Amino acid sequence: HQSCDYISEHCNQPLTLDDMAAHAGFSACYFSRIFKKATTYSFIEYLTLQRVKRAQELLEDPSLAITEISYQAGFKSISTFNRVFHQYKGCSPSEYRKYYIQ
């Protein structure tokens, strides 16, 4: 649970499986296995989900540009952000902002 909290709080930063395993005091392979068992998500899936959740929160602020939101949520490019957000939410970030945030 501490690892999940850490990922949620730091999802906007570059996090790797190796970093998280070291933070938890385990090998990457062992950490990956126990993380998946505990959460049902792989490390990358969980990290991505947290980044999408952060983006959803940021989309509530109409003064923030979508490009800025993508970087603040931890995505390295706007195209990756758009693709991943659509994959998880079923719409683009701008559509989400338009239809779900009013």
DSSP conformational letter for 39: H
Q: What is the DSSP string of 65-95?
A: -HHHHHHHTT-S-HHHHHHHHHHHHSS-HHH
Q: Give the pLDDT confidence score for residue 1 in this predicted structure.
A: 80
Compute the distance between CA of residue 38 and CA of residue 55 in angstroms, rounded to an integer.
25
**Could you read off the pLDDT tens digit of each residue along the chain, which spans 102 residues?**
889 999 999 999 999 999 999 999 999 999 999 999 999 999 999 999 999 999 999 999 999 999 999 999 999 999 999 999 999 999 999 999 998 776
Q: Give the pLDDT confidence score for residue 102 in this predicted structure.
A: 63
Helix %, strand %, coil % for the chain, to 5?
70, 0, 30
Q: Give the pLDDT confidence score for residue 99 in this predicted structure.
A: 86
**Whether the Cβ atoms of residue 26 and residue 34 lie closer than 8 Å to each other:** yes
DSSP conformational letter for 43: H
Q: With a threshold of 0.75, does the pTM exceed it?
A: yes
